[in-house]
Amino acid sequence: MVEPLTASHTVTGRVFAVLDSFDSLHRRQSLAAISRRTGLPLTTVHRLVHELEKHAALVRGADRDYEIGSKIWRLGTLSSVHVELREVALPYMEDVYELGNDAVQVAVLDGLRCLVVDRIAGSRTISVLSKPGSRLPLHATGVGKVLLAFGGAELQDAVLGSLDRYTDQTITDAATLRSQLSTITSQGFAITGEELAPGAISVAVPLRGKGGAVIAALGVVSSSDNTAISRMVPVLQITAAAISKKLAQIGLGEASRLRAE
Amino acid sequence: MVEPLTASHTVTGRVFAVLDSFDSLHRRQSLAAISRRTGLPLTTVHRLVHELEKHAALVRGADRDYEIGSKIWRLGTLSSVHVELREVALPYMEDVYELGNDAVQVAVLDGLRCLVVDRIAGSRTISVLSKPGSRLPLHATGVGKVLLAFGGAELQDAVLGSLDRYTDQTITDAATLRSQLSTITSQGFAITGEELAPGAISVAVPLRGKGGAVIAALGVVSSSDNTAISRMVPVLQITAAAISKKLAQIGLGEASRLRAE
DNA sequence: AGAGAGAATTCCGCTCAGCGGAAGGTCGGA
DNA sequence: TCCGACCTTCCGCTGAGCGGAATTCTCTCT
DSSP string, A188-216: S-EEEESSSSTTEEEEEEEEE-GGG-EEE
D7 closest protein residue (CA to C1'): A31
CA B66/CA B240 separation, integer angstroms: 40
Q: Which residues of B touch A44 (CB under 8 A)?
A: none
Burial letters for B98-114: b for 16+ Cβ neighbours within 10 Å, e otherwise?
Answer: eebebbbbbbbbbbbbb
Q: Which residues of A touch B13 (CB under 8 A)?
A: 51, 55
**What is the residue type of B187?**
Q
Which of A48, A74, A215 lies at the smallest CB-CB distance from B133?
A74
State mean pLDDT over B194-205: 91
The pLDDT score that the predictor gives to residue B3 is: 36
A26 Cβ nearer than 7 Å to chain D strand: no
Instruction: Let me know whether A33 and A108 are in one domain.
Output: no
Instruction: Let me know whether A52 and A132 are in one domain.
Output: no
CA A121/CA A137 separation, integer angstroms: 20
Question: Does A2 map to a domain?
Answer: no
- Say which DSSP state B6 is in: S
CA A16/CA A150 separation, integer angstroms: 25
> Residues B68, B21: contact at Cβ < 8 Å?
no
The dihedral built from the CA positions of residue B35, B39, B45 and B49, taken in this order, carries a sign that is negative
Span of A31-45, A235-249, B156-170, B241-255 with lowest mean pLDDT = B241-255
Distance of CA A179 to the CA centre of its chain: 21
What is the per-residue pLDDT across A58-93, written as a single tens digit (0 to 9) for each?
A: 998 877 889 998 889 889 888 877 777 766 787 788
Confidence of residue B211 (pLDDT cuts 50, 70, 90): low
B253 compared with B228, residue with greater pLDDT = B228
The dihedral built from the CA positions of residue B216, B222, B225 and B230, taken in this order, carries a sign that is negative
Which nucleotide minimizes the distance between its C1' and the CA of A60?
A: D7
Q: Which of B80, B118, B98 is nearest to B218 (CA)?
A: B118
Instruction: Let me know whether B30 and B142 are in one domain.
Output: no
The pLDDT score that the predictor gives to residue A212 is: 78
Instruction: Let me know whether A39 and A85 are in one domain.
Output: no
Helix (H/G/I), strand (E/B), else coil: A123: coil
Instruction: Let me know whether A100 and A205 are in one domain.
Output: yes
pTM of the full predicted structure? 0.70
State mean pLDDT over B211-234: 83
The pLDDT score that the predictor gives to residue A87 is: 64
CA B106/CA B205 separation, integer angstroms: 10
Instruction: Let me know whether B29 and B95 are in one domain.
Output: no
CA B173/CA B195 separation, integer angstroms: 13
Does residue B235 surpass a pLDDT of 50?
A: yes
Q: What is the mean pLDDT of chain B?
A: 82
Question: Does B3 map to a domain?
Answer: no
Q: Which of A219, A213, A214, A209 is nearest to A244 (CA)?
A: A209
Question: Does A212 map to a domain?
Answer: yes
Q: Does B248 touch chain A (CB under 8 A)?
A: no
Instruction: Let me know whether B93 and B188 are in one domain.
Output: yes
Residues 6+ apart with CB under 8 A from B245: none
Q: How far does the CA of B34 sit from the C1' of D19, in Å?
A: 16
- Number of residues that this document lists for chain B: 261
Which of A50, A69, A88 is the C-terminal boundary of a domain?
A69
Instruction: Let me know whether A121 and A214 are in one domain.
Output: yes
What is the per-residue pLDDT across B170-188, written as a single tens digit (0 to 9) for each?
A: 999 999 999 999 999 999 9
Which residues of A, range 68-97, sit inside 8 Å of B by Cβ? 68-83
Instruction: Let me know whether A159 and A47 are in one domain.
Output: no
Q: Which of A117, A111, A127 is nearest to A203 (CA)?
A: A127
What is the per-residue pLDDT across A115-145, written as a single tens digit (0 to 9) for each?
A: 887 777 654 555 456 665 567 899 999 999 9
The dihedral built from the CA positions of residue B73, A247, B86 and B136, taken in this order, carries a sign that is positive
**What is the residue type of B105?**
Q
CATH number of the domain within which B44 lies:
1.10.10.10
Instruction: Let me know whether B149 and B103 are in one domain.
Output: yes
Q: Is A162 exposed, middle or buried (0-12, 13-18, 19+ CB in 10 A)?
A: exposed
Does residue B129 surpass a pLDDT of 70?
A: no
> Residues A52-59: contacts with CB within 8 Å, 24+ apart?
A52/A15, A52/A18, A52/A19, A52/B12, A53/B259, A54/B259, A54/B261, A55/B12, A55/B13, A55/B16, A56/B110, A56/B111, A56/B256, A56/B259, A57/A19, A57/B16, A58/A19, A59/B79, A59/B80, A59/B254, A59/B256, A59/B257
Q: How far does the CA of A89 sit from the C1' of C9, in Å?
A: 36
Residues 6+ apart with CB under 8 A from B244: B207, B208, B209
> Residues A170, A145: contact at Cβ < 8 Å?
no
Which of A47, A69, A91 is the C-terminal boundary of a domain?
A69
Torsion angle in degrees (nearest 10) through CA of B143, B144, B148, B154: 150
Query: What percentage of chain B's residues is helix, strand, coil (to nearest 5)?
Result: 45, 20, 35
Distance of CA B84 to the CA centre of its chain: 16
A11 Cβ nearer than 7 Å to chain C strand: yes
Q: Which residues of B touch A249 (CB under 8 A)?
A: 62
Neighbours of A67 (CB within 10 A): 19
Confidence of residue B164 (pLDDT cuts 50, 70, 90): very high
Instruction: Let me know whether B202 and B243 are in one domain.
Output: yes
CA A98/CA A101 separation, integer angstroms: 6
Question: Does A210 map to a domain?
Answer: yes
Question: Does A153 map to a domain?
Answer: yes
Which residues of B, range 123-142, sit inside 8 Å of A by Cβ? 131-133, 135
Span of A214-228, A247-261, B31-45, B228-242 with lowest mean pLDDT = A247-261
CATH number of the domain within which A230 lies:
3.30.450.40
The pLDDT score that the predictor gives to residue A103 is: 84
The pLDDT score that the predictor gives to residue A131 is: 61
Q: What are phi and psi for residue B223, nearest 5 degrees?
A: -75, 150
Span of A67-71, A240-244, B75-79, B137-141 with lowest mean pLDDT = B75-79
Q: What are phi and psi for residue B125, nearest 5 degrees?
A: -65, 155
Q: How far is B64 from chain A (nearest CA, A)?
A: 11
CA B247/CA B235 separation, integer angstroms: 18
The pLDDT score that the predictor gives to residue B2 is: 32
State mean pLDDT over A158-162: 89
A40 Cβ nearer than 7 Å to chain C strand: yes
The pLDDT score that the predictor gives to residue A7 is: 52
Instruction: Let me know whether A84 and A35 are in one domain.
Output: no
Q: How far is CA A19 from CA A38, B72, B134, B147, in A?
A: 9, 9, 23, 29
The pLDDT score that the predictor gives to residue B191 is: 92
Q: How far does the CA of A36 sit from the C1' of D7, in Å?
A: 14
The pLDDT score that the predictor gives to residue B152 is: 81
As a whole-number percent, the residues of chain B with pLDDT over 70 amount to 85
- Say which DSSP state A153 is in: H
**Dihedral class, residue B199 (left if φ above 0, else alpha if ψ from -120 to 50, else beta):** left
Question: Does B5 map to a domain?
Answer: no
Q: How far is B36 from chain A (nearest CA, A)?
A: 19
Question: Does B33 map to a domain?
Answer: yes
- Say which DSSP state B84 is in: I
Q: How far does the CA of A63 sit from the C1' of C30, in Å?
A: 24
> Residues A202, A126: contact at Cβ < 8 Å?
no
Q: Which of A77, A114, A80, A111 is nearest to A218 (CA)?
A: A114
Q: What are phi and psi for residue A95, nearest 5 degrees?
A: -60, -45
Roughly what angle, to the nearest 10 degrees, separates helices B153-160 and B174-187? Answer: 150
Confidence of residue A254 (pLDDT cuts 50, 70, 90): very low
State mean pLDDT over B47-56: 90
Domain extent at residue A130: 77-257
What is the per-residue pLDDT across B80-126, written as a single tens digit (0 to 9) for each?
A: 877 777 767 877 887 887 787 788 899 988 778 888 887 777 655 55
State mean pLDDT over B223-247: 85
The pLDDT score that the predictor gives to residue A129 is: 64
Which of A22, A47, A69 is the C-terminal boundary of a domain?
A69
CA B130/CA A80 separation, integer angstroms: 19
**Dihedral class, residue B39 (left if φ above 0, else alpha if ψ from -120 to 50, else beta):** left
CB contact under 8 A, A251 and B62: yes
Residues 6+ apart with CB under 8 A from B165: B172
Question: Does B6 map to a domain?
Answer: no
Split into its structural domains, chain A has a count of 2
